[in-house]
Amino acid sequence: MKTHIPLLFFLCSLSLVSQKKFDTIIKDGIKETSSKIFFSEKDLSLIDSLLMEARYKSPLYDTIHYVLKDLQIRESVMDKISTKTLKERLNEINERTPFNIAYNPALEKVIHSYLKYRKRYYPSLMAKANYYFPLFEKYLDAYDIPLEMKYLAIVESTLNPRARSRVGARGLWQFMYLTGKQYKLRVSSYVDERQDPIKATVAACKYLRDLHILFGDWDLALAAYNSGPGNVSKAIRRSGGYKNYWNIRPYLPRETAGYVPAFYATMYLFEYAKEHELQAKTPPIYHFATDTIHIKRSLSFDQISEVTGIKIEMLQFLNPSYKLDIIPLVKNRDYPLRLPKNATARFLSKEKELYALADTDDAKREKPLPRYFEMDKRVRYRVRNGDYLGKIARKFGVRVSDIKKWNRLRSSNLKIGQRLSVYPKRL
């Protein structure tokens, strides 16, 4: 999903001076774009190519298809609210947010469709929101992002930190590999920081801040988060220069056309959950009831669960960035273990026992035979006239069967000049 690399976008745009006016004002360390940006068709194609465009798809594992397709949006009989009431409520939301939320029939249909076809999912979503939203709000506030942007993570991943899209986006905020890397999210065989709730949230805040600097509008920043800034710029130009989301919507990719209304509808349903009898389930834990511990060796969730009694499912929920359910110990890398606060003392009291178990498990694992890997001890022997395997074996103090195994020999026949690998016990 997130296939855009904003810094590359900025670098490309710097080379397009003849196609645009771009006055940047530096004020208190914040960039403010003061004039319009114009791109040619060729330039925008290049930008979207560099950003590895892969438009929003939402076949997320273990999650619902959150963004409704056009055929799924229809009038609802159940939970239908009057247009007058909806207008009043949307206006109230608009007054307290920096988004341009205004009533229109298309948004009304989306809201009705969510109430009819997705209402049963909201108690679970709201339970997860009770865990994640306080975390999101902390960083959204720190980066001066509207707090309502927390609803974006629902549209992106239905608050599943291990969500994966068909095109390779991952995590709560659905970062593609290269965009995540651009915002300092590391990926290794053990750890995917796109799935780390805190690190990915910080990256999303930085990305949204960059998009807002570029377009000067939070609705357009939302659209660009989905389809890439190049597509939004094209839509603005094709619409004749309009910058209201609804005015450029017909010119956006189909996936993005349904994306921002899904965000608005989600915001509305959470803000008026009580009126629609939407009640959150109890979350498994609250974020303020957790703490982190720095481990002294690599540990698996199985080992931690066995010694401390903490359920593996809880460890997975609190530590979603560990792909193999193993916390590695890597030099110059900080990979903490998040635990329920009420289990922290238990972990610390059994820490030595836990490390002893891990050492025992490592000792049980089959180790490679040294003679196959101590390459500095290997001898490359050239077969001479009169040599045979028994003679060569006695020379180096090894067995004939070993020589055959090392060299994958099916028989004892040798040829003069043939090279053999030997790991001698004596020289």
Residue-wise DSSP of 185-228: --B-SSBBGGG-HHHHHHHHHHHHHHHHHHHS-HHHHHHHHHH-
Going by the DSSP 8-state scheme, the letter that residue 304 receives in this structure is: H
In which band, very low, low, confident or very high, does the pLDDT at 48 lie, cut at 50, 70 and 90?
very low
Q: Over the stretch 322-343, which tens digit does the pLDDT of each residue have?
A: 999 999 988 888 899 999 999 9
In a domain, 377, yes or no: yes
In which band, very low, low, confident or very high, does the pLDDT at 65 lie, cut at 50, 70 and 90?
low
Query: Is the full-model pTM beyond 0.85?
Result: no
In which band, very low, low, confident or very high, does the pLDDT at 58 lie, cut at 50, 70 and 90?
very low
User: Is pLDDT above 70 for 371?
Assistant: no
Q: Are residues 344 and 409 in the same domain?
A: no
For the chain, the C-alpha Rg in angstroms (whole number) is 30
Q: Are residues 118 and 99 in the same domain?
A: yes
Higher pLDDT, 9 or 62: 9
In a domain, 292, yes or no: yes
Task: Residue 354: give the domain boundaries.
Answer: 287-364
Check: CB of residue 252 under 8 Å from CB of residue 62: no
User: Is pLDDT above 70 for 375?
Assistant: no
In a domain, 249, yes or no: yes
> CATH code at 179?
1.10.530.10
User: Is pLDDT above 90 for 152?
Assistant: yes
Q: Are residues 173 and 247 in the same domain?
A: yes
Residue percentage of the chain with pLDDT more than 70? 79
Q: Are residues 310 and 186 in the same domain?
A: no
Residue-wise DSSP of 136-183: HHHHHHHTT--GGGGGHHHHHHTT-TT-B-TTS-BTTTTB-HHHHHHT
> CATH code at 406?
3.10.350.10
Q: Over the stretch 394-409, which tens digit does the pLDDT of each residue have?
A: 888 888 888 998 999 9
Q: Over the stretch 183-230, which tens digit does the pLDDT of each residue have?
A: 999 999 999 999 999 999 999 999 999 999 999 999 999 999 988 899
Q: Residue 229 CA to chain centroid, in angstroms?
A: 20
Q: Are residues 173 and 301 in the same domain?
A: no
Q: Are residues 107 and 172 in the same domain?
A: yes
Q: Are residues 230 and 319 in the same domain?
A: no
Q: Are residues 50 and 129 in the same domain?
A: yes
Q: Are residues 71 and 145 in the same domain?
A: yes
Residue-wise DSSP of 94-114: HHTSSS-----HHHHHHHHHH
Q: Are residues 323 and 237 in the same domain?
A: no
In a domain, 427, yes or no: no
Angle between helices 197-215 and 218-227 (to 10 degrees): 120
Neighbours of 312 (CB within 10 A): 14
Q: What is the mean pLDDT of residues 359-364?
A: 88
Q: Are residues 97 and 122 in the same domain?
A: yes
**Into how many domains does the chain fold?**
3
